[in-house]
Each structure stands twice: as structure tokens, then as C-alpha cells.
Amino acid sequence: MFDTHTHLHEETFQEDREEILEELQVRDIRGILVGTDTDTSRQGIDLARQSAPFWSAVGIHPHEAQEVSVSRVENEIRPLLAEDVVVGVGECGLDYARDLTDTAKENQKTLFQAHLCLAHETEYPVIIHTRDAWEDTYDLLKEVRQHPLILHCFTGDAAWANRFLTDFPHLYVSFSGIVTFKKNVQDIQSAARLVPPERMLAETDSPYLAPEPYRGKRNDTRTIYRVIQTLANLKGMSFEQLDQILDANAREVFGLGPEE
């Protein structure tokens, strides 16, 4: 099993991280430790180096756009891309869920574009956070249409999934524990039915978004099987069939060999 987006390196796991990692090794669960700022990006690198089979992605979340300049992306994130365990850029993107001014939105766009430029230069895939910002996200991604892209924690509907899949040939749609929720997720589940297995990824986004029946609790990478099972049910496939495809997809997009 492959969790393509986890924050297992963050402080909330300080007390029981080793126990979780031991169980993940026994169950052959691997994943990508995703940064949301410079510090957590470095922490992800450190943990990935200590805890195979994990890799890391480095980037700055759009919530940080008011305090973070493009120069910091250049001076702090770019050097981290040279680390041997780094396989992606992100998490980065746009988040308009808060009541933002036009200036705040422009700051987010500028920060996102800086990440897209880094990814284009280095050929790393981009892990994209987009919330209530579908049109602007779509427009900015036109600049990197042929690049490997991941719509992290997809919360759109089938129409948006289809639009992104059609217009961006190397884009993957990643589903989190939200897809397992019992209420108000019809659009997301419809999207999951539409997305071809070969363009799909699974994630936990832990410690957030614990799947049913753990909703409301701290999440961790061990629950990835719940996400995969729900996706398999929606696709009319066996767990084993879909898990094999999702593992291959993750290896493909992050440039990992079959034995890694």
C-alpha cells in the first residue's frame, strides 16, 4: 500500500511515531512525507532518510503566502530539491476557503507559480492543494500542461475531475479519507467512479481527515487501507487489484523504481 500524502513527520506524532513506523514496515506500507513550509519540509527529509520506505516532498502551503516571499522559495525550498530522498514539489497551490482579499489571492498565485517554475526546471511532480479555487488553479496549470501533476485530497465533482484529466495528460487525482465519509460526499464519490484507476492515487493527509469509522480522531498512515477499500468498492474492483494499480501509479508519478 502507498500513502502518497502524509505529515507523519510533524510534532503531533512525536510520542508514538516509532510505533507507527514499525507497524507500517510490517504491513509493507510506504509513503511520501509532505512539507508545508521550510521547517516541515526539512523534517520530512530527515524522517524519510531514517525510515525507509519513505520519501519526501518539499514546498510551502498557500496559507503561508502572506508571510513567505518568492525569494524564500528560491533560497530555502530550491536547495532541498537536491536531497536524495526528495521526489516532489509541494504541497503548494491555492486556498480561497477563507475570506481573502484580491491581494491575498494574488500572493497565493505568485507563490504557487514559484513552485511550478521549480518543478518545471527539476521535472519533479507537483503536489497541488486547491480549495475553492478551481478556475484559478486550472488556469495556472496551463503553464505546465505536460508536467506530472497531483490534485491532492480531491474535493471537487466529476465535472472538474474530467476537465483536469482531459486537459492535463500527466495529472493524477488523489483521494483521501473524505471519500469514505457517509454524508455530503456524493460529488467526491462520483468523481472517484469517473477517474480511471490508472489516473488515481490514495492518501491519508494524516494527521487530518481520518476515514470512517475513525472520523474526528487523529489520522495516520495506517488507515490508508480504508481509503483504498472504499475506492475499490466505488470502482467495482477487488482491493488487491486496485492496490496494485495505485502502487504502480505512485511509483510512476514520483519516479520510483519497482524495487524501491
Partners of 58 in the beta sheet?
89
Q: What beta strand segments (E) does the chain contain?
A: 2-6, 30-34, 54-58, 86-95, 126-131, 149-151, 171-175, 200-202
Residue ranges for the chain with pLDDT beneath 70 = 259-260
pLDDT at 50: 93
pLDDT in tens, 66-98: 888 889 899 999 999 999 999 999 999 999 998
DSSP-assigned beta bridge partners for residue 89? 58, 126
Structural domains present in the chain:
2-253 (3.20.20.140)
Q: How many residues does the chain have?
A: 260
What distance separates the 2 farthest-apart alpha carbons in the chain?
Answer: 49
pLDDT, residue 259, reads 60
